[in-house]
Structure 1
Amino acid sequence: MSIPALGNDASQTAKDVVRDAVSDVTVVDTVANNLGIVAALLVVLYALAFVCAIREIMSSRTAQGSIAWLLSLAFLPYVTVPLYFIFGWRSFTDYAIVQTKLGRSERARRAKELRISDEAETRDWPVLAKVSNMPFLAGNACDLLVDGDAAFRSMLDGIRAANHTVFFQFFTIADDQIGTEAADALIERAEAGVEVYVLYDEIGCKSLPHSYLNRLRQAAVHVSGFNETHRFLRMMGPMRLNYRNHRKLVVVDYEHAWVGGHNVADQYLGRSERFGHWRDTHVKVSGPVAVACAVSFSEDWLWASGKEIDLPEVTRIAKPGDEPVLVMPTGPADVLEECAIAFAEAAGRARKRLWITSPYFVPSIDIQTALFAAAMRGVDVRILLPEKADHLTVWLASHAHADVMVDRGVKVYRYQKGFLHQKVTLVDDELASIGTVNFDNRSFRINFEITLWFTHERMISKVAEMLEQDFVNARQTQPDDLDKRSYGFRVLAQGAQLLSPIL
């Protein structure tokens, strides 16, 4: 009896089956012939998982997070070990050494000796002062800079007028129109003999071409990435991919400092078709605060580049104004989660109003509790967030957290006139903050940030007037708005909320 010939499709299928079988046999043979290597790799992997597990047990921040890491390390070590090195391994003892070397513990005493310490404000806000390791500094002149035109005009004018020193530090720098203007100003000053330092974050500047940085270096500008001497994939030590320098700081001649939410890119001037008007806030402070900001920069520079800036010996610091201001640099090198402590303290002290503006709102349990408690004691708690999204996952998580706020009596507003990116807090008529801190876990616990705190009625009044106008340009979220969203949106928002610890 003859066997019928296979059709073309059946013949091809048979060939594929044979090929796959041969491939599988090849893989098995390869493994079998290298059992020693495979066994060694498994031993190394589980040894690393064990080291990570011990470290997590000894440095646990929350029981829930630690249990999640430990289970994942036990059952999925192949995936979890590299993730833990990126997201879970937190060690900045080397940065703490830098702070000690530059005399951080002596700054309060030094401020007293120079007679720039405001003792009354420091007594009124002891937690903020202890978090900052500095007292409130007296004698400053402050200029509130609303939106990009005012902020960049002030910063660039300040740089162009520099006589001997410029510190220029940003999370993001773009090679666009404003980025070119900034580079031109920095290069012109460097060529005139001014010492110019540029510090950038590699993650925030991932799209910045090497040609931009090389142009600065060729003009004798000192340039360093924040991880210049701390590469992400170091064989000995933790990866730093998850820890970013989010500070935005300019210091000129140790006399003037600029801090706020603007990065150096055209979109921060409202030149983006996607975002349109960009709502952001910076502040210029002249006086003793500029020296404190310069010290913060020098710490970052030493840790990033391995080179120490020769700070001048100071015997007298000018006081061009009458406003007390506190400089609060925070980051993962802090012994405690000091940024979160400071903002929780501010919320806890509120009696009449607590107004918060942030582009991202992913608060931890302790911050949520402080906000709920403020609302329950009758404080006018308002949170101003963007209507538009720039980072989808964080935006979705912000919706989930904001919905809980509305349910608890907190007023949530969505900014309508473009994109809102400012980081400003107002407490009663007593305290205001402007800086780089978003209301999320990343800013409170993971990133290097800087915040300026103000108590003078002049700045409080200006901030209140600015925020009142922002609320006019915003839409308040009503309780029934939550029910109008699709079920799919609510699922995505709740799912994004689960990622809150790393957002």
Structure 2
Amino acid sequence: MIKFFPELYTIFHFFSLIAAVHAGLTVRTSQGAVAWAVSLVAFPPLALPLYLMFGRNKFNGYIETLREINSKNKNSLLQLGSPLSRHKVTRSGTKLEYFDRLTKLPASQKNFVELLIDGKATFDAIFDAIKRADTYILIEFFIVHDDETGTRLKDHLIAKAKTGVKIFFLYDEVGSNKLGSQYISDMRRAGINILPFWTTQGIRNRFQLNFRNHRKIVVVDGKVAFVGGHNVGDAYLGKDPGIGHWRDTHVKIRGAAVQAVQLAFTEDWYWSARETPDIDLRSEPFMAGDMDAIVLPSGPASRLEVCSLTFVQLINTAKKRLWIASPYFVPNSAVVTALQLASLRGVKIRIMLPLKPDHLLVYLASYSYLYQMSLPNIRFFRYEDGFMHQKVILVDDDLALVGTANIDNRSLYLNFEIGILVHDQVFAGEVEKMLEADFLKCRESGLKEYENKSWVFKLSVRLSHLFSPII
């Protein structure tokens, strides 16, 4: 081994130089490009494998693959989107008008969006909808556990599959890497179409462990859809004694916006299966209420940084109030700047974070932003009643977002995410009431708390901040 080490090092160094050039041409920020280039040149055996796994922030092949759908007649994206277009919001002055340019999906009217607070309400509603399914079920989760809750989901789906309901199930290959083969084979034997979302599919993605499909989607018969923060497992019902109460928020959607949710699912399914679900997804949406809403899918395959731009636009829209609940707060410079400017123009900002961490690096890195956020009108709160995992934003008195995206670099650049933005005073009022109850279970935090920490904690915060682009 020692005899061949110089030759092996030369090979590593050669390919590391190529990777360093690639980093200089493609890495998103100049700081990141310099960091990768220096590491690749100085430490080739260590840096090259890391660069292959974590070096890119664009997901290759997804958009190109989706173009294949529109070359076919059945269930093309254009056909799937046509019912949604017939119910789009046409009046001027709506606060949703800029977001459709980001996602290429129109804001729709006559929706009804219902808050589902915590796991019991969420899974009760999802299981009830599954029981009522007549034709098809589309389901996609980041994490699925083979525990009591996961088994209940499997049993409900198998029971419906036996009645002839077609079921299409996606799970993330990284997030659900512990999902047993027996769980999957049980479903397949029942006739359920179940696949992983292949984030490592394709030669250029083969070694990339950085991308995730973080979406949580359920659609039943094209009439009702669910999105939000919950994964599938007992912990999300508060049954993990090490975590305790799991505070999360989901929504149940009826109306034209359901079409947009199933369109996002169809794109993901096509990536994994290379075919659209073998069902007619073009049914006319069921009109259910008077809420204007837009579904906001985002991901690393898009040319624009849709998730980041969505957050920035929401912050810029705020005139009086901005409440943010996110389990992870590792924002990019654009979001930081938008929050600073909102503070200076008088917007009252509250940011709710968990007191108890589930990912230590992210938890520590969030403290590094307190200096930049130590401004008038910005207040931080730490949720004390278990772990707070919801992703909710309330803007003024009439605009609210619920979804899967955290305010961290992973959601902003590396994950496939989805959320729904609702422009409606009644819904915003319900979100306000929900968050007010959550703030009562928080204690106020901020820069002073950080300054009183030990030097070991502060050093840990600074070191964790270095990993913020990939955590």
Letter in 1 for 2:159: E
2:170 aligned to which of 199, 207, 214: 199
* 1:279 partnered with 2:247: yes
The percent identity for this pair of structures is: 37
2:189 aligned to which of 214, 218, 226: 218
1:217, CA displacement in angstroms?
1.0
* 1:392 partnered with 2:344: no
2:125 aligned to which of 125, 137, 154: 154
Over alpha carbons, which structure has the higher Rg? 1
1:123, CA displacement in angstroms?
5.3
* 1:412 partnered with 2:383: no
1:121, CA displacement in angstroms?
6.7
Structure 1, unmatched stretches of 5+, are 1-26
Evaluate the alpha carbon distance shift between residue 480 and residue 249 of structure 1 in structure 2; reply closer, same or farther with a 3 A threshold.
same
1:115, CA displacement in angstroms?
2.1
The more displaced of 162-171 and 315-324 is 315-324
Alignment RMSD, CA only?
2.2
Secondary structure of the residue aligned to 2:322 is strand
Evaluate the alpha carbon distance shift between residue 237 and residue 164 of structure 1 in structure 2; reply closer, same or farther with a 3 A threshold.
same
* 1:92 partnered with 2:59: yes
Evaluate the alpha carbon distance shift between residue 199 and residue 315 of structure 1 in structure 2; reply closer, same or farther with a 3 A threshold.
closer
Secondary structure of the residue aligned to 1:448 is strand
The answer to whether the 8 Å contact 1:191/1:219 transfers is: yes
The answer to whether the 8 Å contact 1:90/1:238 transfers is: no
Please name the residue that 1:470 is paired with. Answer: 438
2:90 aligned to which of 119, 133, 153: 119
* 1:60 partnered with 2:31: no
* 1:328 partnered with 2:300: no
Evaluate the alpha carbon distance shift between residue 285 and residue 397 of structure 1 in structure 2; reply closer, same or farther with a 3 A threshold.
same
Supply the distance in 1 between the matched residues of 2:291 and 2:204 (Cα, whole angstroms): 47
- Cα deviation digits, residues 83-120 of structure 1 (max 9, x gap): 111111344341102333345985898357x5210123
- Cα deviation digits, residues 180-210 of structure 1 (max 9, x gap): 1100001111111111111111221122211
Please name the residue that 2:417 is paired with. Answer: 449
Evaluate the alpha carbon distance shift between residue 478 and residue 293 of structure 1 in structure 2; reply closer, same or farther with a 3 A threshold.
closer
Letter in 1 for 2:137: V
- Cα deviation digits, residues 114-161 of structure 1 (max 9, x gap): 521012378543331111111111121221101111000000100111
Please name the residue that 1:497 is paired with. Answer: 465
* 1:351 partnered with 2:323: no
Letter in 1 for 2:138: F
1:406, CA displacement in angstroms?
3.4
- Cα deviation digits, residues 50-94 of structure 1 (max 9, x gap): 332332232231111101111112221211111111111344341
Q: Residues 136-215 of structure 1: matches in 2 within 5 Å?
A: 136-215=107-186
Supply the distance in 1 between the matched residues of 2:279 and 2:90 (Cα, whole angstroms): 26
Evaluate the alpha carbon distance shift between residue 305 and residue 42 of structure 1 in structure 2; reply closer, same or farther with a 3 A threshold.
farther
Secondary structure of the residue aligned to 1:500 is coil
Please name the residue that 1:80 is paired with. Answer: 47
Supply the distance in 2 between the matched residues of 1:317 and 1:172 (Cα, whole angstroms): 29
Please name the residue that 1:8 is paired with. Answer: none
The more displaced of 115-124 and 318-327 is 115-124
The more displaced of 488-497 and 102-111 is 102-111
Structure 2, unmatched stretches of 5+, are 71-75
- Cα deviation digits, residues 372-399 of structure 1 (max 9, x gap): 1111111111100001011111111112
Evaluate the alpha carbon distance shift between residue 121 and residue 165 of structure 1 in structure 2; reply closer, same or farther with a 3 A threshold.
farther
Supply the distance in 2 between the matched residues of 1:450 and 1:273 (Cα, whole angstroms): 29
2:282 aligned to which of 314, 322, 339: 314
| Greater relative contact order (Cα < 8 A, sep 6+) | 2
* 1:71 partnered with 2:38: yes
The answer to whether the 8 Å contact 2:96/2:293 transfers is: no
Evaluate the alpha carbon distance shift between residue 303 and residue 502 of structure 1 in structure 2; reply closer, same or farther with a 3 A threshold.
same
Secondary structure of the residue aligned to 2:100 is helix
1:252 aligned to which of 220, 223, 238: 220
Evaluate the alpha carbon distance shift between residue 347 and residue 282 of structure 1 in structure 2; reply closer, same or farther with a 3 A threshold.
same
Supply the distance in 2 between the matched residues of 1:105 and 1:255 (Cα, whole angstroms): 18
Please name the residue that 1:110 is paired with. Answer: 82
Please name the residue that 1:24 is paired with. Answer: none
1:465, CA displacement in angstroms?
0.8
The answer to whether the 8 Å contact 1:169/1:200 transfers is: yes
Larger % of helix: which? 1
1:249, CA displacement in angstroms?
0.7
1:238, CA displacement in angstroms?
4.5
Q: Residues 223-242 of structure 1: matches in 2 within 5 Å?
A: 223-227=194-198, 230-231=200-201, 237-242=205-210
Supply the distance in 1 between the matched residues of 2:444 and 2:80 (Cα, whole angstroms): 43
- Cα deviation digits, residues 455-481 of structure 1 (max 9, x gap): 011111111111111111111115432
The alignment's TM-score, normalised by the length of structure 1, stands at 0.88
